[in-house]
Structure 1
Amino acid sequence: MIGARRLAGRYRLLNPLGEGGSGTVWLATDDMLGRDVAIKEVRLGPGLDESRRRELCEAAVREANVAARLRHPSIVTVHDVLIEDGRPWLVMELLSGSSLEEMVRERGPLPPHQIARAGVHILAALAVAHAAGVVHRDIKPSNIFLTRTGRAVLTDFGIAAVEGEAAQDRTLHLVGAPAFIAPERLRGEPDGPAGDLWSLAATLYYGVEGVPPHQGRTPVETLRNVVAEPPRPPVRAGPLGSVLIDMLATDPAARPSLRDVAPRLRELTVKRPGTPAFVAPPSTPAPAPSVPAQARRPAVSPRRRTLLTATGMIATLAAIMAGTVVTTNALAADPSPAQSTPTPTRLSEKPGKFGIPVQFCKLLTAEQIKQLLPEAKDLEGKPTNQGGCEWTSPGMAVFIEPVPVFGEPEGVKDQYGTSPRRAHERFLNERNTTIPNGTIVWSWDDIGAERRSARSTGPEPVTGIGEEAFAYHIYDNRSHMKLERSQVVFRVENLVVEAAYTVIDGKRDEKAIRQGAMTLAGWTATALNRMG
Structure 2
Amino acid sequence: MTGDLLAGRYRLHSRLGAGAMGEVWLAMDERLQRPVAVKQVRLGAGLGSAEEEQARQRIAREGRIAARLRHPHVVTVHDVVEHDGRPVLVMEYVSSRSLAALVTEQGPLAPATAARLGAQAASALAAAHVAGIVHRDVKPANILVDDDGTVKIADFGISHAVGDASITKAGVLAGTPAFLAPEVARGDDPTAASDVFSLGSTLYAAVEGMPPFGAGVDNPIAVLHRVAAADFPPPRLAGPLTPVLMAVLCADPDRRPTAEQVTDALRAVAENRAAALSTVGSTAARTQPVTSPDAATVLATPVPAPPGTRVDLRPAPIIGGGSARRRWVAPLAGLLAVGLGAGAFALATAPSTPPSDAGSAPATTTAVPDPATLTGAVSEYFALLPDRVDEAWLRLGPALRTQGQTVYRNRWSDVTDVVVTTPPVVTSATAVTVGVRLTLADGTVVQETRVLDLVLDNGTALINADSIVDSATSTPPPPPAPDHKGRGEENKKGSGKKGKDGEDG
Larger radius of gyration: 2
1 or 2 for the larger relative contact order (CA 8 Å, sep ≥6)? 1
TM-score of the aligned structures, taking structure 2 as reference length: 0.50
TM-score where L is the length of structure 1: 0.47
